[in-house]
Structure 1
């Protein structure tokens, strides 16, 4: 008997525009000790399937038919009290956004204890002991169980939620996109964490994600969903190495890998189907390059492939070998060449020793005297300090501790030429976004500066900001926050034209042309829509169109594709590469995703705690990293090949507080190769002899030109 059986599940949402058939006959089984994945683009039915299993569907959703059994028990027939006993005790849930799952006014330890004591008669002392054990299990400091959620980083909060899910030793853990949006170091720790837990507890996992590399490294079997239907399912090895459905092939080839060589990524054309009615033919037929007349009229059944643990719903599965070969070519999917990368052009942006420091500021509560004693007094008593800490105040930000500034940027230099893409990569909190916002003059530089097209940033600040904004645009990570929800697409894209005084008769045509230029064609279909009526990928395209409509010379892109499905991410990356190649736009692309950057960036700059620690041509850094931090970032990138066995370079701890940086190399406290010199002296970013590859590190290594031992970051006399 399987642990979980889902048979012919059908889920419908009632909307103001009529019924939405979200899940249409999904079936799969999970055995004891098996990690299972549901994958596919947004709106494929992954999360709805999980919510149906958990009994968490919203009121306007209804399970029309199908069976859901857990160890032979019919989950659909459970009373609310019976379901409450089952959840957490035997089935636990890890949501995508950890901050939404944690109560901000309760300590994380109290929330874990609450989950335990709701289901079991356990003393406070034993519940507290269990919470500390769980913190150790997920790699968190047990001394922090009494901290509040806001005192943890995003990755640490995600591990807190994992700890809560493990509190009662459940037999099945359902995890919905547990690593989306996290940097590669944190993601790698969580993946490793999940694998260790699986080995220790022998529990099963249902992982919902569009990240094929995470699936390859954590799961045994998977189902690929599209339009609410299973397109293909079976063992991970078979599906990721020898996919037999064109949709699976498209997703696999759209996923960036470090060794792809920068070729155009496959981007599945079109958009997910409108599910207001059940499809009569193959639901993927409108987007499939191999479809024929049968596909348009007959829905393919999910059938077993001979001699393999694999089932596929495709009329042309017998031609899978030839389709796999053709599917690797972007032109098969209608993608054109991005054009040849231009030769070195004139430098458009030149940054020299740029610094951005923030003064520490007291919180509002921190300025209020308690019992006649202000918490900003340096000599605050330990008891009063603990009183504030227990209530979630971040004392390190309230009290002076010898350091009055947060050094977000601490001496950054770079240059970007016309037609060039420079990738800036690093962990969360390293200063990447501050760099982008400072270069866009949304933040005032503290020191140093930059020149844009030959003029200093002070020139643009001195009454010339409008011309600067017209020529340099920034694209933010989250289009929800950068697009006004009360404006239509046409109004959003037209607004920059209005601000910069374009003629009225030019604006409509410019909006239409720009929308189609970013893949929203025909533009008339989108002009009157509001942001909430668009998919995530479409919203991001509107944000890009808004930046491009005034024909800028330079784009600052701050994680513009990190939250997108793999196919939509490929579209954005291909678009930016094409714009750089064909129109000579300079691009600064900020990301924590090294695999994506290798597809479009000409050069990479690796950032750690406000400074660059390595720079060079993309292919050189990927194949021959010189700094231990770069090695760790590269080793943390998961592989899409399930046969792979990459060697992890574990990083101890987390980046230091930018307001209290260590002496010497700022990476030394986490570096396994650090020496006394590293901890006492900060290395400079020096180039290797005869190359444009530079690193800030004292470690001896082999010079790539001479083959002799050499040092980087030191003087010639070292």
Structure 2
């Protein structure tokens, strides 16, 4: 039975500069009990399609044509009151950013009860009981239904939104990028959560995502969208194992995999179409390495492939097998990093026992006056104040006096010229604080580092300008790190002016650097503002700003985590090429272990302020020795829909970095923890083999007899 049917949907946005044809004739159907995915890059039309189904399009968008039916009912003809009755009751929505979807001045339990009581006449007691049941269903502590959104982690907030969406047991759940930007551990838990709940409730899923691995593990059927049109659709295993459209091939090969070729990360060249005009040929033709003359002049129809439950819009689909073989190589797409991996010992950054602690203090909310504030806001501020106060009391009882947040707690590492050093861990592990401290945006609490032969004290003592020219940092979000009021030319030229560098040739330096990061010809971009660029182009501008003054070192803090897979590949390939050809040292901070395996020479796994494993990338991935590393690797989803990976579910959430650890800081979540682990903390060299080390008393199988004997020896007592 068909649950949802979308036929020839066309949506237009009336923008300031003219109409944008966002969705152009999209058709698909979801049967009862089927999980369906819409995939593609940003601006492909997938989110607009979902909003059209839900009736959530903005005022400047219009459905020009097409039919949308849910169980035979025409959704476009519903009155607002009828649509309100349908939403949540039969069709629920999980948005991408849970923090924006939750009311900060209402407890999460109250918001779930509100969703229930808006649609059904139930007592307050029954609604409360249902909220507790939902918390248990999504793996949250039912005693926390009275907490506010700020008291939960990102992953926990996302599970709250999932609980709210499932409160009325809808027949269809529409999830828009529900795991984007989350740690692999949290993402894995949420995927598992959704699948378990679906099995219990027998609901269907419409998943909007660019993450093919999530699709492979959750969905039965899919459509790949590009430029507002369907490029390919059918069974997930058919599209991911035997794609027939070059665009699907490019997306698949751009996705980083743990077992992929380290030198073969594909980046689809060019950028998505502007959609201000309807295409007269194949919309993907300008970026397709297999395009012919026919592709430029004739739009391909979406047609069935013989002997397969698969439809494709491509003039060259009969050559799909040959195209797949050629598409596996990055050179087909005009890419591949230049040069070879470094082997020099020319160390540019040496870090020794670095610590960055923050003093705990009373929350601002505890000092805010509440007279004259509404009861809802007063309850929120009082609750938050009591929560912070009680936590401080407990810490003082346990540790005595004041306490500290040990964001970075004794980290040592080195990075050579031309080397990429990856730092991986969950949110809150201290990796971003490490990067900011090494960039001297934060002052070290203890320990220190040497950069280019000089100590960090030397640079802080009146030499910061020379330090900033040698070491640059690229931040995670190009939407926030670039001044929206400045053109690309001004943004890239600004560092030259600040440092008085190449003043006589600033214009030439700006153009050279933009083309160096793949924005050629530079003249096309000089007068553009950030809002006129794609996410990948913005991040290239951010990297150009860092490179224009010829630094010796880059600190990259999650520079690709918010980008589509193809744009991620662009940034990763660019950094690898810069390291290889220009000898720039790179510290790359990320929670995406799969991406780092494609470009990093060495990896450091970080947990609650300390490194728990470090070594050459290939050895850490193929022979992990710390249980936390094993969990991170096991949580990476696979793009092969036939795969049946074993999930490793860590108990609980990361511990609070506040206060002094009583033993191994991973012990509360570790499946191998013993009494010794809970009493004393292992050093990074508790297990070591050449330059591969782990802070674990019980390393994974594979350690030598000598290693096992050494780590199991009792510690000497003074």
- The two structures have a TM-score, normalised by structure 2, of 0.96
Q: In structure 1, what is the Cα distance between the partners aligned to 2:83 and 2:698?
A: 58
Instruction: Quote the residue 1:49 is aligned against.
Output: 49
Residue 389 of structure 1, CA deviation? 2.3
Instruction: Quote the residue 1:111 is aligned against.
Output: 111
Residue 554 and residue 448 in structure 1: after superposition, are their counterparts in 2 closer, same or farther (change >3 A)? same
Instruction: Quote the residue 2:352 is aligned against.
Output: 352
Question: Contact conserved, 1:701 with 1:711, CA < 8 A, in 2?
Answer: no
| 1:452 aligned onto 2:440 | no
Q: In structure 2, what is the Cα distance between the partners aligned to 1:330 and 1:269?
A: 10
Residue 391 of structure 1, CA deviation? 6.9
Name the Cα RMSD after superposition. Answer: 1.9
Instruction: Quote the residue 1:363 is aligned against.
Output: 363
Instruction: Quote the residue 1:401 is aligned against.
Output: 395
Instruction: Quote the residue 1:97 is aligned against.
Output: 97
Q: In structure 1, what is the Cα distance between the partners aligned to 2:426 and 2:390?
A: 22
Instruction: Quote the residue 2:602 is aligned against.
Output: 603
Residue 504 of structure 1, CA deviation? 3.4
Q: In structure 2, what is the Cα distance between the partners aligned to 1:444 and 1:649?
A: 37
The list of structure 1 runs, each at least 4 consecutive aligned residues, that deviate by more than 4 angstroms after superposition, is 368-371, 384-387, 390-393, 396-400, 687-690, 700-718
Aligned ranges 1:508-523 → 2 under 5 Å: 508-523=507-522
Moved more, 542-551 or 678-687: 678-687
Q: In structure 2, what is the Cα distance between the partners aligned to 1:113 and 1:669?
A: 33
Residue 367 of structure 1, CA deviation? 3.3
Instruction: Quote the residue 2:416 is aligned against.
Output: 417
SS in 1 for 2:62: strand
Aligned ranges 1:31-430 → 2 under 5 Å: 31-367=31-367, 388-389=382-383, 394-395=388-389, 399=393, 401-402=395-396, 403-430=402-429
Question: Contact conserved, 1:683 with 1:713, CA < 8 A, in 2?
Answer: no
Residue 307 of structure 1, CA deviation? 1.0
Residue 288 and residue 714 in structure 1: after superposition, are their counterparts in 2 closer, same or farther (change >3 A)? farther
Residue 459 and residue 284 in structure 1: after superposition, are their counterparts in 2 closer, same or farther (change >3 A)? same
Question: Contact conserved, 1:701 with 1:709, CA < 8 A, in 2?
Answer: no
Residue 502 of structure 1, CA deviation? 2.2
Q: In structure 2, what is the Cα distance between the partners aligned to 1:21 and 1:392?
A: 51
Residue 520 of structure 1, CA deviation? 1.1
SS in 2 for 1:354: strand
Question: Contact conserved, 1:686 with 1:712, CA < 8 A, in 2?
Answer: no
Residue 345 of structure 1, CA deviation? 2.9
Instruction: Quote the residue 1:667 is aligned against.
Output: 666
Question: Contact conserved, 2:35 with 2:220, CA < 8 A, in 1?
Answer: yes
Residue 8 of structure 1, CA deviation? 0.3
Instruction: Quote the residue 2:697 is aligned against.
Output: 698
SS in 1 for 2:597: helix
Residue 484 of structure 1, CA deviation? 1.1
Question: Contact conserved, 2:626 with 2:699, CA < 8 A, in 1?
Answer: no
Question: Contact conserved, 1:425 with 1:607, CA < 8 A, in 2?
Answer: yes
Question: Contact conserved, 2:407 with 2:657, CA < 8 A, in 1?
Answer: yes
Instruction: Quote the residue 1:489 is aligned against.
Output: 488
Instruction: Quote the residue 2:473 is aligned against.
Output: 474
Residue 145 and residue 67 in structure 1: after superposition, are their counterparts in 2 closer, same or farther (change >3 A)? same
Residue 127 of structure 1, CA deviation? 0.4
Residue 120 and residue 702 in structure 1: after superposition, are their counterparts in 2 closer, same or farther (change >3 A)? closer
Residue 505 of structure 1, CA deviation? 2.7
Question: Contact conserved, 2:93 with 2:173, CA < 8 A, in 1?
Answer: yes
Cα deviation digits, residues 272-325 of structure 1 (max 9, x gap): 012111111100011101110111111000001111110000010000000000
Question: Contact conserved, 1:104 with 1:149, CA < 8 A, in 2?
Answer: yes
SS in 2 for 1:339: coil
SS in 1 for 2:27: strand
Instruction: Quote the residue 1:442 is aligned against.
Output: 441
Residue 590 of structure 1, CA deviation? 0.3
Question: Contact conserved, 2:625 with 2:699, CA < 8 A, in 1?
Answer: no
Question: Contact conserved, 1:684 with 1:714, CA < 8 A, in 2?
Answer: no
Q: In structure 2, what is the Cα distance between the partners aligned to 1:485 and 1:400?
A: 45
SS in 1 for 2:2: coil
Cα deviation digits, residues 41-94 of structure 1 (max 9, x gap): 000000000000000001110000000000000000000000000000000000
Moved more, 528-537 or 91-100: 528-537
SS in 2 for 1:136: helix
Residue 392 of structure 1, CA deviation? 7.8
Question: Contact conserved, 2:465 with 2:499, CA < 8 A, in 1?
Answer: yes
Q: In structure 2, what is the Cα distance between the partners aligned to 1:467 and 1:369?
A: 46
Residue 714 and residue 426 in structure 1: after superposition, are their counterparts in 2 closer, same or farther (change >3 A)? farther
Moved more, 393-402 or 174-183: 393-402
Cα deviation digits, residues 157-196 of structure 1 (max 9, x gap): 1111101100100000000000000001000000000110
Residue 680 and residue 296 in structure 1: after superposition, are their counterparts in 2 closer, same or farther (change >3 A)? same
SS in 2 for 1:401: helix
Residue 344 of structure 1, CA deviation? 2.5
Moved more, 707-716 or 501-510: 707-716
Q: In structure 1, what is the Cα distance between the partners aligned to 2:387 and 2:238?
A: 51
Cα deviation digits, residues 341-377 of structure 1 (max 9, x gap): 1212311100000000001122234236899xxxxxx
Cα deviation digits, residues 406-438 of structure 1 (max 9, x gap): 110110000000111110000000000000000
SS in 2 for 1:694: strand
SS in 2 for 1:240: helix
Q: In structure 1, what is the Cα distance between the partners aligned to 2:17 and 2:137?
A: 47
Cα deviation digits, residues 496-521 of structure 1 (max 9, x gap): 00000024331111111111111111
- The two structures have a TM-score, normalised by structure 1, of 0.96
Question: Contact conserved, 2:234 with 2:309, CA < 8 A, in 1?
Answer: yes
Residue 264 of structure 1, CA deviation? 2.9
Instruction: Quote the residue 2:535 is aligned against.
Output: 536
Residue 472 of structure 1, CA deviation? 0.4
Q: In structure 2, what is the Cα distance between the partners aligned to 1:709 and 1:398?
A: 41
Residue 209 of structure 1, CA deviation? 0.3
Q: In structure 2, what is the Cα distance between the partners aligned to 1:290 and 1:595?
A: 28
Residue 452 of structure 1, CA deviation? 0.3
Question: Contact conserved, 1:362 with 1:397, CA < 8 A, in 2?
Answer: no
Cα deviation digits, residues 455-509 of structure 1 (max 9, x gap): 1000000000000000000000011221111111111111100000024331111
Q: In structure 1, what is the Cα distance between the partners aligned to 2:499 and 2:661?
A: 46
Question: Contact conserved, 1:13 with 1:62, CA < 8 A, in 2?
Answer: yes
Instruction: Quote the residue 1:628 is aligned against.
Output: 627
Question: Contact conserved, 2:365 with 2:385, CA < 8 A, in 1?
Answer: no
Residue 307 and residue 660 in structure 1: after superposition, are their counterparts in 2 closer, same or farther (change >3 A)? same
Residue 471 and residue 646 in structure 1: after superposition, are their counterparts in 2 closer, same or farther (change >3 A)? same
SS in 1 for 2:294: helix
Q: In structure 1, what is the Cα distance between the partners aligned to 2:713 and 2:42?
A: 49
Aligned length: 706
